[in-house]
Each structure stands twice: as structure tokens, then as C-alpha cells.
Amino acid sequence: MIALSLAEIATITGGDLRLVGTDTDSTLVDGVVDTDSRNMTAGGIFIAKPGADTDGHRFVGAAVANGAVLALVEHLVDDEVTQIVVPDVVEALGALAREVVARVRAAGDLKIVGITGSNGKTTTKNFLARILQDDGETVAPINSYNNEVGAPVTMLRVTETTRYLVSEFGAAAPGSIAKLAGLVEPDVAVVLMVGMAHAGGFGGIEATAKAKSELVTASRADGTAVLNIDDPRVAAMREIADGRGMTVLGFGRNEEAAVRASDVEVSASGTRATITAGGASYPLHLKVLGAHHISNALAAITAAGALGVSPADAISRLETVEIAERWRMQPMGNDRVRIINDAYNASPDSMAAALRTLAQITAPGERTVAVLGAMSELGETAGEEHDRIGLLAVRLNIQRIVVVGPEARRLYLAAVGEGSWDSEAIHLPDQDAAFEYLRTELRDGDRVLVKSSNSVGLRHLGDRLGELFS
């Protein structure tokens, strides 16, 4: 974070400053800002966020022991540290992020990219950060820091030397993206897709589309909207962008796309495509598995182009990326038993894409094994969406379907109903049971996909299998 005095932080956050020790109103603070006391370092600012399971105020002492020199709190605590008491620490965190980014932007040449979509946000964020970092200091979220806490924490990592801020915006409810993007008003707004992820919490896919469009509305009127024109709901956001006077750049496989992919091929060594941009064509070889990641790459190339990076440079930098992110199509295991751990998150779209990738990368004589858990936050559509994935797994000829956990039982029943009999499909109660089954069931030549929503935790099962067959 840029250096601010304690008095400035109190004014920005609307808080009551309580000094301790030798601190004065003019004492400067420029350390890391976080809600996790374990992430504190010398000079850090600890945000004591109350939570459903615990209360950050209990960990102020631990934050101080790790180097925190200031705590934002909702009530005074006994720990010996300067505190600013605010009505709502999350609101105060957002206000601080807004002011810091505004100051950096006013003083230099900071450019901000916002990314949203039902799937692909984190991968696209990582792709774009990799492209931009060769041109200047780039700040991007750790993991999926895209909510009311993670997004401002990321924003507060900018300094006077930061050239690019890449922000990822998730939607907890209608209005969330507008609020988060409104903190920084991105120069470039990237909308990837509108799918069924979280649709249960929004009341359907059309409401989800409206929520994603908030990023376009909250971005700078003189900025650029980067839209997936293969997705009709995203393509329709052009009307919003046009109405605000924004430049619109489309990406996809559609002939009208400014940056387009063709000749997509998926293999065990990665994903190949031909990228067409600015009237020229370029070969792309991503080491990341899955045809669906070509769309994420197109989004990153297009956004980078809006910031002045040539397609050739963007592509050469993308080709150095080894994996999209831990637990996202992450290759593990060995040449005999290959594990693909893609269990950080799951939606109907990403589950289908992962299953298709498994089928595509498995050679004759090898066996496909899908280890599948539940997809969360689908609301009243959950049953039919799990049915659809069970049917798809059978129709893709996945040879072993291992369904884990009671919430995913309907997926198993759909697979059996479609014809996955004679132990081709099995339902197991939990991760431990699945591990014991797979430990003896897997054999040379197996290609294994592990996929579930984050809340199910199958990523840890994937790690155990990866270690077992390393």
C-alpha cells in the first residue's frame, strides 16, 4: 500500500483513531492490508472482520505479534496496538481501497482491468497478469480474491510504481459487482460468459446476466468493453457499452470477433489453436489442458491489446504458463496414471468442459475415470443439472464414473439410468471411501479427472491421488 498517515486513514474510513505508544496522527503506515492475522508482516494493517464462524477481533493480538501496527475494528480491543474504530470494517476496507487506487491513478499511469463471468475468471486473470507483467509492475488477486474483502485487499497492494491492476469480480448478489467495480472504475471491462454457476442465488440465468453486466456499467465511459461474442447474453452487453460511449472488442470463434480462435486441438500435452487478430494469424500452444481455456486466452489477449500489447507478444507470454492455477486442470500423478485435479470449483458448464477434455486427451488403450462431486449454488435447478452431467459422462463414454458424497447421488443415478452398469458407475459416501476404492481400482493407462465444487473439497482427494501416483 502507499504510505498514509494514521490521521488520513481515519478520515478516509470515517473512523475514530485511538493511538498507543509513540504513534501520532502523522505516523505513516504502508504495510500489507489483510483480514487474516497469519498474513501480517511488519507494518501491516489488520482488518478485524466479524464472521459467521469466528470474529477477527479475537485475532488482533496474533496480528500484532506478526507485525501489524494498526487494526481497523468495530469496537476497541485490549491488545496494545493503534486502532481505528469504524461502524463496518468491510465498508471501511472498501473506502480505503477506493482512495488508494484513486491517488495512484492520479499520480501516474495506472491502468485497471476488471474481469467477471460465471466461469474462467481466475484463469483469465492469471493469463492476463502473465502477459502484462513483462510490460510493468502488475498487481493481480491471489487465488480467487474476488469478493467484498478479497477485491479491496488486492487493490490495496498497488503502489506508486504499479502500472497495471487486474481485478477479478465475483457476484454474491445483485449489485455486488457494481459496488466492487465502482471502487476503481476499470479502464477495461472483460465479461467472459454467463452460465449456471450461482444462478440459484440470483433467480435464474437472466438475472445472472444482468449481474455480470454491472461491470460494463461501472467501468469508465472512455474505456473498453471486452466481450465474449460467442455467448449471446454477453454479446448483448454491447448495447450497454455503446450507450456509454465505450470501445467494444469482441473475442470468440465467431467470424466477427476482433480476436478469434480456429483449428482448436486438445491433447495430453496442452491445447493448440490459431489466433487471428488485426488481420494476421498466429499459432498458440497453451500448456493448460482444455478447449475451454482457449476462450480465456482470447479474453486475455484482447484485454492486453486494449492496453497496447501486441497479439504476438501476448501469445508468446501465454505459452510460458504451466498451469492455470492450483486445482484448475492441474496435471498430477505420473505417465502411468495421470490425475487432472480440477476440483477448485464446479458449475454445469465447467463440469461439462472438463469431462469433454478428459475424453479428448485419452488415447486408444487408455481408460477414462471421472471422480465427481456435487455442484453447489444451483438452487432449484440442482437436480436437473446433476442429471445432465451424469448423462453427459455416459455419452462421452467415460469408462469409470466415481460419484462422491450424498449431494451428488442424483448424478450417479442419472449415469446408471443412461446405461453405466456393471460397476462402470459407483457411488461412495465420502473422500476416504473414494480414496480407498481408487487406490486399488486405478491401473496403468488411466486418465483420471477429479471435479467438484470447492465446498465439497475433492481437491484434497485429487492431491492425495496425485501423491499416491507420483
AA letter at 394: V
pLDDT score at 199: 55
pLDDT score at 420: 73
- Tell me whether residue 161 is annotated as binding: no
Q: What is the CATH number of domain 4-88?
A: 3.40.1390.10
- Tell me whether residue 120 is annotated as binding: yes
pLDDT score at 434: 97
**Which CATH architecture does the domain made up of 108-318 adopt?**
3-Layer(aba) Sandwich (3.40)
pLDDT score at 323: 84
- Tell me whether residue 118 is annotated as binding: yes
Q: What is the CATH number of domain 330-468?
A: 3.90.190.20
CA atoms of 277 and 295, how far apart (whole Å): 14
pLDDT score at 269: 87
pLDDT score at 178: 96
- Tell me whether residue 5 is annotated as binding: no
Per the DSSP assignment, residues forming a β-bridge with 276 are: 260, 281
Cell numbers of 231, please? 455467448
CA atoms of 298 and 239, how far apart (whole Å): 21
Residues constituting the chain: 470
pLDDT in tens, 130-172: 999 999 999 999 877 889 999 999 999 999 999 999 999 988 7
- Tell me whether residue 119 is annotated as binding: yes
pLDDT score at 196: 65
End-to-end, the C-alpha distance of the chain in Å comes to 41
Contact assessment for residue 289 and residue 296, using Cβ atoms and an 8 Å cutoff: no
| pTM of the predicted model over 0.85 | yes
- Tell me whether residue 362 is annotated as binding: no
Contact assessment for residue 204 and residue 128, using Cβ atoms and an 8 Å cutoff: no
Residue ranges covered by each domain of the chain = 4-88, 108-318, 330-468
3-class SS letters over the chain:
CCCEEHHHHHHHHCCEEECCCCCCCCCEECCCEECCHHHCCCCEEEECCECCCCEHHHHHHHHHHCCEEEEEECCCCCCCCEEEECCCHHHHHHHHHHHHHHHHHHHCCCEEEEEECCCCHHHHHHHHHHHHCCCCCEECCCCCCCCCCHHHHHHCCCCCCCCEEEEECCCCCCCHHHHHHHCCCCCEEEECCCCCCCHHHHCCHHHHHHHHHHHHHHCCCCCEEEEECCCHHHHCCHHHHHHCCCEEEEEECCCCCCEEEEEEEEECCEEEEEEEECCEEEEEEECCCCCHHHHHHHHHHHHHHHCCCCHHHHHHHHCCCCCCECCECEEEECCCEEEEECCCCCCHHHHHHHHHHHHHHCCCCCEEEEEECCCCCCHHHHHHHHHHHHHHHHHCCCCEEEEECHHHHHHHHHHHHHCCCCCCEEEECCHHHHHHHHHHHCCCCEEEEEECCHHHCHHHHHHHHHHHCC
Residues in the chain predicted with pLDDT less than 70, given as ranges, are: 196-203, 421-422
- Tell me whether residue 117 is annotated as binding: yes
pLDDT score at 338: 95
Residues 6+ apart with CB under 8 A from 399: 367, 368, 369, 424
